[in-house]
Structures are given as C-alpha cells and as structure tokens.
Amino acid sequence: MSEIVWTDVGNDAARLLSRYIQIDTTNPPGNERAAVEFLEGFLTSRSIPSARYTSAPDRANLLAKLEGDGSAAPVMLLHHMDVVPANRDRWAEDPFSGSLADGHVLGRGAIDDKGLGVMQLIAFGLLRDSGVAFKRDILLLAVSDEESGGKLGSQWMVENHWPDIQCEYVWDEGGTGTIGIMGNRPVFAVSVAEKKGMNVRLTTQGTGGHGSFVSTSPLNRMVTALNRLQSSRMPAQFGDVTKKFLREVSRTQSFPSSWLVRNAYKPVVRTLVANKLAAIPAIDAMLRDTVTLTSVQSGAGTNVAPDSAIASLDVRLLPSTDKTDFLRRLKSALGDDSVIIESADPPPIVDSSATDSEFFRALNRVIVQRAPDSIVTPIQTPVGTDSRFFRSKGAHAYGLLPAILTQADLDTIHGANERISVTNLEFGTRIIYETLLELCA
C-alpha cells in the first residue's frame, strides 16, 4: 500500500466533480442514466464492478460493493445524482460548466449532492486500493430523484431491492460542518433525525356579493385568520437530540452565554435565550414545528366579493410531534372555527439514529483528529432527505457533508453560484476514508 498524497487526492476530486457537474441532471426530468454511465466509467477504470437498477426510462440507480468477511453488518455511502434547477440569469457562469477557478469548483450540485458523491467515490476507490481486509461490506449507492421525493430513487430501491442494500449504517447528506455561524470553531452538525413534511389546506366558504358593499366575505375571513397565524409561533420543544445539540454548541460560547445555551430547555432559562436562538433560522427550525404559507387562491374579479378562499401551508413537524396535537394548536392559532382544515398524513415516525453507535464514535474521533478545534454534534435537520427511507428499515443514517462551509457557501445551496473548495474536497474525502477504515478494518 503506497502512501496517499492528499493534495493530489483533492485535485483529482476537483477534476472528477467538474466533469460530474457537466452532466445536467436537473430534476425534473432528472436523466440520471447519463450520470450512472459516468460513475460506471470511474468504477470500471478501477476494475470495481457495479450494478445498474433502472427505475424508469432514463432514470437509474447504481450500486457497487467492496466485500467484507461478513463478521459485521454493511455500511453504505449514499448520494443523489439529481440536482435542482438553476436560473442561469443569476449565475456568474454557466451552472453546468463545472469551472475550476480560485481553488473552487463551481456549478449546480457542487455541494448538493455531487460534491459529497465525489468524496464518497474517491474514498471508496482508495479503500479498495488499501488492500485492507474489511469486517463488513462497504456499499456505494448513487440514487435518482431525491429532489422530487425519492419515488424513483431511494424509496424505490428500499421497496424493491432491500436485500441488495440491507445495511447497518448509511452515510447520507443532511448536515455539514460550518465555521463562523456558531462561534469561531468549526461545528460539524450530523443529522440523525429529520422533520416530517405535511401539506395542509385551509378553506373558508360562505356568501360573496357585490364588491361595492363592505365585505365580510370568506376571503376577508381567510386573511384575518392567516394574519393571526402569521403572528403566532408553535411552541419550542426540546427532545433528546436538541438537548445534545445545545450542550455541544454551548462549547462555542464563553460564559455566561455557554451556560444559557446549554440550559436553554429549562423553563426559566428559556425565556432568557429563546429570542437569541430563534434569531438563527436554522436553529429556530430545529426547535419547533414550522408553518409556511405558500399560496392563497380566491376571487373572480375586482368587483366581486368571492364566496370561497383556499390557502396552502407547508408544515414541517418535529419528529416527536403528534398530528392531532398540532392540528389543535393550528386551529387555535387561526382563531376562527369556520376555517376548514384538511391535511395529508405526515410520514410515520421513525426513530432517531443512535449517537452512541460505533459509526458516530468513529466519525467523531476522525473529525476531531483532522480538525482539532472542532465540535461534532447531532441535529435533527429541518429539510427532508432520503435517510428516512433507510431509517424506516432500521438502519442508522447519518447526514453529513464533511466540509467546513461558511454562511456564504451555504447560501449557494439550491441558489446561484453553488461552489465548493478543493480544500474541502480533499478534507471530506479524507474524513470518509479514515472513518470507514476505522469502522471496517
């Protein structure tokens, strides 16, 4: 086994990511078959076999495996090949150029999720080259369709091919390392749970009339109810994951702030720090169920008071929130019993992935070794990821892009000028390689 030159690995990762970005996998339509062919090319050039799973025309998933001796259950590296659309007018360059400049790779998917995919792919190749005998299989799965909910990707694989991918641990997206957001030490937020998305429809009905009369039409009632809703907030809830998170991030603060953050869940302290925590949107969304108004439909003409109004709400429930409890609170926040509330069932509750597992401990050790001043913490991510499909099968899924991002980097995710540094590509590949070596050797 020859010594790994990590700067060379970073440059290789940057070149590979640049080419990966050039394959336009905007979903819809996705067209991930082209990405599968690209990944197959990388694996074949290293004589690593892989299998293709076609879920629809031009939509496919790819699985590769490094065999272990079977004395421990498999671990899987997971990323999605599809990307969200890019509005070219807002980008400095073509979002699919994959341009390499100023030590960065630019393009849609650089962070979400092709950057993670390239780190995993190169680490996978290095693990194979290491010649080490593994106690567990190491799987690499690239999926379609994450950005549209996973029906042709992870969900489809779990429902149709679970025996092929059955694993104890999954390394997915969902969290990342950041710097300068919570103090000046790097904080690695590893997602171990996620909120449950639920769509809610509100309807008001009644009599409309002529626009020339003072109106109490259903539209007026809807606006009044929505105003009440906008000015109310769902209560903060402090589950186990959130308490662990507060304990870890309190270490980024000096006293007395550190003490306040650590004890923020206690009723007396809560009133002192609630506003401070809520001012950071990502933390606020971890603390409570969120309700976002996404559309209102009503009206037929300027001089007609409408006889109905419909509003759509994008609701994200904490893992522990019960639907009935939430709907009761929603009704009270609207303050009008005549508003009809309809909702789909949220996805079933799945357990958080363990923070005392062999995986989490190995990851923690490797990160602290490579970034000595850093803090590693579990979080429950506000966004939906494919991890839920694997958690529903009993696997422990951990969401982490092992990179150290600034707020400016984070703002490019699903936005304009998405980019990742070559330094982060090198760092992340090394974290994945060393963590899996520790977990599997």
CB 115 within 8 Å of CB 423: no
Question: Which residue is associated with the tokens 């925590």?
Answer: 277
| CA 315 remoteness from chain centre | 16
CA pair distance 331, 225, nearest whole angstrom: 10
- For position 112 contacting Zn ion by CB under 5 A, the verdict is yes
CB 108 within 8 Å of CB 84: yes
Instruction: With CA atoms as reference, report the closest residue to 164 among 81, 79, 76.
Output: 76
CB 266 → Zn ion: shortest distance, Å? Answer: 35
Query: In whole angstroms, how far apart are CA 121 and each of 17, 54, 254, 349, 400?
Result: 10, 20, 40, 31, 15
Which of residues 137 and 418 has its CB atom nearest to Zn ion in the complex? Answer: 418
- For position 426 contacting Zn ion by CB under 5 A, the verdict is no
Interface with Zn ion by CB under 5 A: which range of 111-119, 329-337, 365-373, 391-399?
111-119
Which of residues 110 and 334 has its CB atom nearest to Zn ion in the complex? Answer: 110
CA pair distance 82, 28, nearest whole angstrom: 9
Which of residues 173 and 289 has its CB atom nearest to Zn ion in the complex? Answer: 173
Which of residues 32 and 173 has its CB atom nearest to Zn ion in the complex? Answer: 173
The residues in 64-103 that bind Zn ion, with binding defined as CB under 5 A, are none
CA Rg, the chain, in Å? 24
CA pair distance 250, 264, nearest whole angstrom: 10
Interface with Zn ion by CB under 5 A: which range of 104-112, 124-132, 298-306, 391-399?
104-112
Beta carbons within 8 Å of 372's beta carbon, 6+ residues apart: none
- For position 409 contacting Zn ion by CB under 5 A, the verdict is no
Which of residues 40 and 112 has its CB atom nearest to Zn ion in the complex? Answer: 112
- For position 113 contacting Zn ion by CB under 5 A, the verdict is yes
- For position 386 contacting Zn ion by CB under 5 A, the verdict is no
Which of residues 186 and 399 has its CB atom nearest to Zn ion in the complex? Answer: 399
CA pair distance 375, 279, nearest whole angstrom: 21
CB 377 → Zn ion: shortest distance, Å? Answer: 20
CB 154 → Zn ion: shortest distance, Å? Answer: 11
CB 112 → Zn ion: shortest distance, Å? Answer: 4
Q: Please count the residues of this chain forming the interface with Zn ion, following the rule CB under 5 A.
A: 3
CA pair distance 290, 313, nearest whole angstrom: 10
The residues in 155-194 that bind Zn ion, with binding defined as CB under 5 A, are 173
Interface with Zn ion by CB under 5 A: which range of 105-113, 161-169, 207-215, 229-237?
105-113
CB 301 → Zn ion: shortest distance, Å? Answer: 43
Q: What's the token pair of residue 249?
A: 């991030």
CB 165 within 8 Å of CB 63: yes
Which of residues 21 and 291 has its CB atom nearest to Zn ion in the complex? Answer: 21
Chain positions contacting Zn ion, by CB under 5 A: 112-113, 173
